[in-house]
Chains A and B, each alone.
Chain A
Amino acid sequence: MERSEKRRHYDETLLTVVIILVVIGLVMLYSTSAYNGEVKFHDPFYYLKKQGFATFIGILGMVIVSRIDYHRWAKLAVPGYLAAIALSVAVMLFGDEYNGSKRWLSLGPVSFQPSEFAKAAVILFLACLVTRYSKKMDKFRTLVLMMLPVLPIVALVGASNLSTAIIILGIAVVLVFVASPKYSQFIWMGTAGIAFMAVFLAMESYRLERLAIWRNPEQYEKGYQTLQGLYAIGSGGLFGRGLGNSVQKLGFLPEAQNDMIFSIICEELGLAGAGIIIFLFLLLIWRFFVIAVKAPDLLGALIASGAMAHMMIQVILNIAVVTNSIPNTGITLPFISYGGTSVVFLLLEMGLVLSVSRLVE
């Protein structure tokens, strides 16, 4: 009886924010990609059509997933995890190369990005795993054990897509952090992580070059994209040039519909528009937080936390890259950047969180 009462208790705010972001995403994607679509495919709607199709599939999936009790997915956690590994291996072997990286698997007319699937799979898998060992989470050994299964995926994905690997690692760390009652271990881990990053960066000179480009994008040819993004942001001012009026998207900023789409939003909608979008993401993360806190059990809390971690890491890294606050790395802006697989799995994740929200006390 209790359940039937809560049946209609979707988190409506979350759903509304997701829908608004999806709509804004499609509008901005069209605005940004029309020129490139016209130039490359003689079809201004080229990107919009593909994204629209993926969004449709994603929303359908979201609705279905949200209606299913999330506990039933626990069975799929391990197969999902194995599938993510298998797909990551497959993409290394049979993947399509685009812009120099093998990230896509072609299945007939549909191309699929396994790393996006891997994010969702890791959230589910780790949530289940951590829930099972939650009583031992205060031990450092358990923490390491929890992290170990994630590492193969991180390594496989990281081979072609370092940014996504970092996101997956980040999600894993947040999940373990949330499940553990302690803090000090994480401070040590954080310190170790920073040290590891420093060594990792210093190992390859091109990574150090990235740092140099980050500091002075004007002086490097490879700083072109960053600089063009900054031009777009700076051109926006308070209220922007108006929707559709970006000049930077006209070939100046290459592939404007991808990672750097936020800079075009800044150019067209100004600080006001960009601020609203960041605010919407914050709202979204806040809802994840609320759902996670109110979740009936640890599994629900961890699923919501995982989604929150995913969302916040991606939004923060993307905007930080676009504003040249950190060195350039290819991370898409959830719901807005072009990418069908990303949208589908994000929406499925939203469905999962919505399903948790139904059971909120």
Chain B
Amino acid sequence: MKNRTYNKKKILVVFICAALILFGLIGRLVWLMVFDAEYYQELAQDLHEREREIKAARGEIVDRNGVVLAANRTVCTISVIHSQIEDEDLVTEVLCSELGLEESEVRKKVEKVSSMEKIQTNVDKETGDRIRKYDLAGVKVDEDYKRYYPFDDLASRVLGFTGGDNQGIIGLEVKYEDYLKGTNGTILTVTDARGVELDGVAEDRIEPVAGETLQVSLDYNMQAYCQQVAENVMEEKQAEAVSILLMNPQNGEIYAMVNVPEFDLNNPYELNTGVDENSLSDEELQDQLNQMWRNRCINDTYEPGSTFKIITASACLEEGVVSLDDTFVCPGYRIVEDRKIRCHKVGGHGQETFVQGIQNSCNPVFMDIGLRLGADRFYDYFEKFGLLKLTNVDLPGEAGTIMHKKEDIGTVELATMTFGQSFQVTPIQMAVTVSSIINGGTRVTPHVAAAVLDENGEKIETFDYDSEKGIVSEETSETMRMLLESVVSEGSGKNAYIEGYSIGGKTATSQTLPRSANKYISSFIGFAPADDPQILGMVIIHDPKGVYYGGTIAAPVLRDIYDNVLPYLGIEKNQTMVYTK
């Protein structure tokens, strides 16, 4: 049969159809690959890319002299990727011996078909490096940062610690989280459909930004010394706890804040009481941990007792209801309304001047002057001194003052308040209020954080804190410094006296509630040099056994501290004793 012309024509028709359609498809491809490309590429990228976070190193915390108080340690996470493992036995063997794990446990993970299986986290860097050196296919060693506190329990409640995601939990770590945490980076890797990362495909990497360094006003040496002293006295007096606070009364910088027993910041979930965590229910354990993490200087209130007489005296002097020469008689008690309120000296102090009254810490004297002032004015001064406000210390969880309502203050309440009972304040509140009285009337904001430094130690930001002037007049302030100096040189605070230094201070012994428990808090607030206070210290001993008078047990503690700290601060002995005759 012949291949006719019409056959050829038809073949041409078929061919032309095919060619046209193919050109149409090329056009479709151009459309997809040029004009629609971006849309599909984006979708494909979303599908292929896995985001992996790179933790940022947390900023360090350094003391005023640059001593590192909180640092980071590189730790490793060891994982296996099943599909990439070449020699299961070798991998199992190496991981077991390096990590000290049970063979069966490791083998199970090595043989498990999953995209990635974690073998162990928080492996120290040396071990991680050793495992990496084996260069085993399918074994991944990822570096990570973990918070590390070189001095374990030093200033534990001030510094605070971090949790599993390196986030601050308590203390400065949480307060300054935004500065310290840095910015995590990411690695964008391309994976196959099973989530296995592809080698040789360029990964997008956003580098993490390390957190900034926080410089604090704490002084490692003072903090460490105070802790040691506190531990000694706690043991000696078998006290429940001892808190010591050192601060600069002129600007509010806190040099040391000790609450013994401290706890180990590197193991913040272990109780410092020696109780086995396993013997407690989860709830009990959490309760006890929460108790352990409390900063008594800030989070808890107490009845300040006689140290509060500083404030009563200041208010009365400021208001002019008492002058230094006024005389009082102390029979050992005062009858207020129907109550007989005792002086700590049972036999009474007899006749005494106001100056002697404060030296003797005589309760009737303060009841008298307090009643002269009256409840309204007393309350107004209480408020004016800032006692009803928070100190705004830059640590979390500051407790407020527990105080009577103004209209509820009767004569009895007023009388007990004059010597620091029937209301509660925090130790930091006492320290700050006393500071404002002795520094010329400026209420400072107590603080720990001083500045933010970059990685080279250059200051990026210096923290400014508010202060409020005119709390008391310069005159009253000077009178108070003189009076308190005489308390130490001649009165109930003489145990804090150091030859050659002028130290002002006031002792206190307060009974805790319930009174029937016969538990006491002995405390002492002292400052030096008395004419120009550079440092204010506070010692609080909770529930000491045996002698519990503040003058007897708390004052010597501060003396011991000042004996070392004053020379350390460059305050020289034998300055002119302005007030001592």
Question: Which A residues are closer than 8 A to B by beta carbons?
Answer: 35, 39, 131, 134, 174, 177-181, 230-238, 245, 247-248, 250-252, 266, 270-271, 274-275, 278, 281-282, 285-286, 288-289, 292-293, 295-301, 305, 308-309, 312, 315-316, 319-320, 323, 325
Contacts and interface: CB of A to CB of B under 8 A. Distances in A.
Contact of A251 (B8, B25, B194): B194
A278 B8 contact: no
Name the residue in B7, B12, B201 with the highest tally of chain A Cβ atoms < 10 Å from its Cβ. Answer: B7
B15 interface: yes
Contacts of B28: 320, 323, 325
Contacts of A266: 29, 32-33
Given A252-B193, A278-B25, A316-B25, A271 B30 contact: yes
A298 B3 contact: yes
B34 A271 contact: yes
Given A230-B40, A247-B190, A275-B26, A308 B2 contact: no
A274 B29 contact: yes
A286 B39 CA distance: 35
Contacts of A39: 194
A282 B25 contact: no
A270 B193 contact: no
B11 A234 contact: no
Contacts of B25: 278, 316, 319-320, 323, 325
Given A247-B192, A275-B29, A308-B18, A296 B41 contact: no
B14 A308 contact: yes
A121 B7 CA distance: 22
B380 interface: no
Contacts of A179: 7
Contacts of B8: 292-293, 301
Contacts of A312: 14, 18, 21-22
Given A286-B15, A293-B8, A319-B25, A251 B32 contact: no
A142 to B, nearest CB: 14
A298 B44 contact: no
A234 B36 contact: yes
A316 B33 contact: no
Contacts, number: 147
Interface of B: 1-4, 6-8, 10-12, 14-15, 18-19, 21-22, 25-26, 28-30, 32-34, 36-41, 43-44, 47-48, 190, 192-194, 198, 201
A250 B21 CA distance: 31
Contacts of A270: 33
Contacts of B201: 245, 247
B3 A252 contact: no
B263 to A, nearest CB: 51
A237 B201 CA distance: 18
A305 B163 CA distance: 76
Main DSSP-derived SS at the B contact region: helix
A296 B34 CA distance: 45
Nearest to B191: A250
A179 to B, nearest CB: 7
Name the residue in A39, A178, A230, A305 with the highest tally of chain B Cβ atoms < 10 Å from its Cβ. Answer: A178
Contact of A323 (B10, B21, B29, B193): B29
Contacts of B29: 233, 266, 271, 274-275, 278, 319, 323
Name the residue in B3, B4, B30, B41 with the highest tally of chain A Cβ atoms < 10 Å from its Cβ. Answer: B3
Given A238-B34, A266-B29, A293-B11, A250 B44 contact: no
Contact of B12 (A235, A293, A320): A293
11 contacts: A177-B14, A178-B10, A231-B47, A234-B44, A236-B37, A251-B193, A252-B192, A266-B29, A293-B3, A308-B18, A325-B25
Contacts of A315: 22
A234 B40 contact: yes
Nearest to B200: A245
Contact of B18 (A131, A247, A285): A285
Given A177-B14, A299-B1, 18 more contacts: A178-B14, A231-B43, A236-B33, A247-B190, A251-B192, A252-B193, A274-B29, A278-B22, A282-B18, A289-B12, A293-B8, A297-B3, A298-B7, A308-B14, A316-B21, A316-B22, A319-B22, A325-B25
B7 to A, nearest CB: 6
A155 to B, nearest CB: 25
Contacts of A308: 11, 14-15, 18
B14 A252 contact: no
Nearest to A285: B18
Nearest to A266: B33
Given A274-B29, A298-B1, A247 B198 contact: yes
B11 A301 contact: yes
A325 B22 CA distance: 12
B44 A248 contact: yes
B33 A297 contact: no
A232 B44 contact: yes
Given A178-B7, A236-B33, A266-B33, A247 B22 contact: no
Given A233-B40, A247-B44, A295 B22 contact: no
A82 B315 CA distance: 120
Contacts of B30: 271
Contacts of A293: 3, 8, 11-12
A308 B34 CA distance: 30
B11 A298 contact: no
Contacts of A174: 14
A271 B34 CA distance: 8
Contacts of B47: 231, 252
Given A301-B11, A319-B25, A282 B19 contact: yes
B8 to A, nearest CB: 5
Contacts of B192: 35, 247, 250-252
B14 A305 contact: yes
Contacts of B12: 289, 293
B44 A235 contact: yes
Name the residue in A235, A300, A319, A325 with the highest tally of chain B Cβ atoms < 10 Å from its Cβ. Answer: A235
Nearest to A218: B43
A285 B40 contact: no
A233 B21 contact: no
A192 B43 CA distance: 41
Contacts of A230: 32, 40
Given A231-B47, A235-B41, A278-B26, A316 B18 contact: yes
Contacts of B14: 174, 177-178, 289, 305, 308-309, 312
Nearest to A309: B14
A233 B33 contact: yes
Contacts of B36: 234
Nearest to A178: B10
Given A285-B19, A319-B25, A231 B7 contact: no
B3 A295 contact: yes
Given A248-B44, A251-B193, A292-B11, A134 B18 contact: no
A333 to B, nearest CB: 12
Name the residue in B14, B37, B41 with the highest tally of chain A Cβ atoms < 10 Å from its Cβ. Answer: B14
A308 B17 CA distance: 12
B340 to A, nearest CB: 88
B33 A234 contact: yes
